[in-house]
Amino acid sequence: VKLTRAAWLFVLMGVVASASVLAALSFGSVPTRLPNVFAAIFFSSPDTAAEIVRELRGPRALAAFACGGLLALAGTLLQVLLRNALADPYVLGVSGGASLGALLALAAGASALSMNACALAGALAAIVIVFGLTYRSGDWNVYRLLLTGVVLSAGFSALISLTLVLAPDAQVKGMLFWLMGDLSQTESGASAGVVLCGLLVLGIATAAQLDLLALGELKARSLGVPVGLLQLMTFAAAAVATVAAVVTAGAIGFIGLIAPHAIRLAGVVHHRALLPLAVLLGASLLTIADTIARTIWSPQQLPVGIFTALIGVPAMLLLLGRQR
């Protein structure tokens, strides 16, 4: 029963993921019919519509897909590591650090490239602080990790508000976009895609150990899991995934929290299936949300974070309501 349910969900998520990518490639200010989308991808036809698909929509769809997957992956890993259902990719303070870095760069009128560099620096600083305060000679305290992340995020959030208040008016809108998540400035999602593939393989390779870690550290150790190493790797993988997503697309909320829960509510609890399914769900969700965000008010583009929540909240409430 367990296997067939997971297999069924894989088929479903495969269809949803493909549909979301095709929708992202077809919809836009120049609507493209499906045959032309395929022609643009596979036969590199030379007309303008094909170029839009290849040069504009393709990279952006890849970026959305990869970032959604990364956030779902990070959320799943942190929920196991912290044994806390409310954990999401941002409990480590990564989004706060990255946002502060990006906003300071924006306020200073920096280029997109140096803004990304500042976001990266802020995210890494947050991780180094959280890690340094919670990891002592091979020993973790997951509660301390969680609390340190939450406290640090609160501090960053105050500094972000301060930056917003003091920033020149012309910059504030760009800052708000960044804070709500925005894929319109993304050049390419290729690097995020590579990071996602690597981390997903690592996650599946340690899936059986993650199942045991969810039972508790001592229990996992008694069953032969190298707990310290596993926790360190899980922390690192979640941090890298979050940083890659945040630097590519800003602080997109909600996906990392709900994608793993939605899959668990559908009855898949083993990480070997849970991780890839959550990744597919998060990726599809962000791809669909980004397609809506750039078409619904066209030519005006809206921050994608609004739509991840607008789609995700009712879907999640529906799932929770069906749960006994």
- Cα 57–Cα 75–Cα 184 angle in degrees, nearest 5: 25
**Range 120-152 burial, b when 16+ CB lie within 10 A, else e:** bbbbbbbbebbbeebbeeeebebeebbebbeeb
Which of 160, 212 has the CB closer to another protein? 212
Least separation, in Å, of the C-beta of 316 and another protein?
Answer: 17
Residue 230 and residue 209 in contact, taking contact as beta carbons nearer than 8 Å = yes
Which of 79, 95 has the CB closer to another protein? 79
Q: How many CA atoms lie within 13 A of 40 on its CB side?
A: 21
Which of 80, 249 has the CB closer to another protein? 80
Least separation, in Å, of the C-beta of 200 and another protein?
Answer: 16
Name beta bridge partners: 135: 140
Residue 255 and residue 286 in contact, taking contact as beta carbons nearer than 8 Å = yes
Residues that bind another protein (CB under 8 A): 1-2, 83, 205, 208-209, 211-219, 221-226, 264, 269-270, 272
Which of 208, 318 has the CB closer to another protein? 208
Least separation, in Å, of the C-beta of 100 and another protein?
Answer: 34
Least separation, in Å, of the C-beta of 216 and another protein?
Answer: 4
**Range 299-313 burial, b when 16+ CB lie within 10 A, else e:** eebbbbbbbbbebbe
Distance CA 126, CA 102 (A): 13
Which of 41, 214 has the CB closer to another protein? 214
Least separation, in Å, of the C-beta of 83 and another protein?
Answer: 5
